[in-house]
């Protein structure tokens, strides 16, 4: 359980984050309502999520399936839009249908086909997905390579159970926010080139976190994923 003081701290930091996102949007000539905030609640207890919900937040992101499912069950009495923002193994695709409104981290054909098979078998609603693109050249990170993006996007568009909404980026952590900005711009450029070739609109760009969301918004982010700025330092995973 978190204390009342901790809960109020979460709500206060949430309000400050929403103000900062809105200001970044205005500075870049965009409307604040065109940028959605996803509160990344991984490792934080369900009570922390509830506190943010009471502060007006509705979109929450989780990185680990089992943690997410437990939290969803505990918070089943409130209407949350859940996003899956972590790396998803194809053998855990069965847990995503009906549990998440948006998958940010589709990174290959194997996962796309696993999701399609599960969704088709269960007659679950169409799942909105983003393709994660690895622009930092980090071998240990998930994400499709830029050269493979078009083929994967075409494949996903051909799967009736998936709805491709756009792209997602997780840049290298050792870069400064200004050094990440060209990567944010590159993701936007890739989206802009992909749309006419696919003949489909890709409205969403999920990019930007606690320390770099203003730069991401200025380069076109429509979704920012912020955790520490809202919830405070992340507890150590047990």
- pLDDT tens-digit map of 38-79: 999 999 999 999 999 999 999 999 999 999 999 999 999 999
- The backbone region for 71, taken as left when phi is positive above 0, alpha when psi lies in -120 to 50, beta otherwise, is alpha
| Structural domains in the chain, sorted by start | 4-231 (3.20.20.10)
Among residues 234, 233, 231, 235, the alpha carbon closest in space to that of 14 is found at: 231
- How crowded is residue 145: how many other Cβ atoms within 10 Å of its Cβ? 12
Helix (H, G, I), strand (E, B) or coil at 133: strand
CA 210/CA 78 separation, integer angstroms: 25
Average pLDDT, the chain: 95
Query: Quick one: pLDDT at residue 124?
Result: 80
Confidence of residue 234 (pLDDT cuts 50, 70, 90): confident
Contact between 116 and 162 under an 8 Å Cβ cutoff? The reply is yes
- Indicate the Cα dihedral angle 117, 154, 89, 115, nearest 10°: -20
Q: Which residues pair with 197 in a beta bridge?
A: none
User: What tens digit of pLDDT does each residue of 203-231 get?
Assistant: 999 999 999 999 999 999 999 999 999 99
* Helix, strand, coil percentages, rounded to 5, for the chain: 45, 15, 35
Mean pLDDT of 121-145: 86
For every residue of 10-62, DSSP letters joined together read HHHHHHHHHHHHHHHHHHTT--GGGSEEEEE-TTS-HHHHHHHHHTT--EEEE
CA 228 to each of CA 40, 142, 181, 237: distance values in angstroms, whole numbers, following the listed order: 8, 22, 20, 15
User: What tens digit of pLDDT does each residue of 87-125 get?
Assistant: 999 999 999 988 999 999 999 999 999 999 999 998 888
Query: Quick one: pLDDT at residue 1?
Result: 86
CA 154/CA 168 separation, integer angstroms: 16
Query: Quick one: pLDDT at residue 235?
Result: 78
Contact between 220 and 205 under an 8 Å Cβ cutoff? The reply is yes
Query: Quick one: pLDDT at residue 238?
Result: 56
pTM of the model: 0.95
CA-angle at 84, arms to 238 and 169, nearest 5°: 105
Token pair belonging to 238:
């047990």
């Amino acid at each position: 359980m978190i204390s009342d003081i901790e809960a109020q701290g979460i709500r206060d930091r949430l309000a400050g984050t929403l103000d900062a996102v809105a200001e970044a949007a205005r500075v870049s000539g965009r409307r604040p309502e065109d940028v959605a905030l996803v509160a990344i609640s991984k490792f934080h207890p369900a009570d922390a999520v509830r506190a943010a919900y009471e502060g007006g937040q509705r979109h929450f992101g989780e990185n680990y399936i089992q943690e997410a499912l437990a939290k969803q069950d505990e918070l089943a009495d409130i209407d949350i839009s859940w996003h899956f923002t972590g790396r998803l193994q194809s053998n855990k695709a069965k847990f995503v249908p009906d549990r998440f409104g948006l998958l940010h981290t589709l990174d290959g054909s194997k996962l796309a086909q696993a999701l399609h098979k599960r969704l088709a078998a269960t007659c679950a609603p169409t799942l909105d997905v983003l393709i994660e693109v690895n622009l930092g050249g980090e071998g240990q990170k998930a994400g499709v390579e830029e050269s493979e993006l078009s083929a994967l996007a075409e494949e996903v568009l051909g799967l009736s159970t998936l709805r491709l909404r756009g792209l997602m980026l997780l840049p290298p952590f050792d870069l400064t926010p200004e050094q990440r900005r060209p990567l944010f711009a590159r993701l936007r450029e890739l989206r802009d080139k992909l749309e006419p070739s696919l003949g489909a609109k890709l409205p969403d760009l999920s990019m930007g976190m606690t320390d770099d969301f203003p730069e991401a918004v200025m380069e076109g982010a429509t979704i920012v994923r912020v955790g520490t700025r809202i919830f405070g330092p992340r507890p150590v995973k047990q």
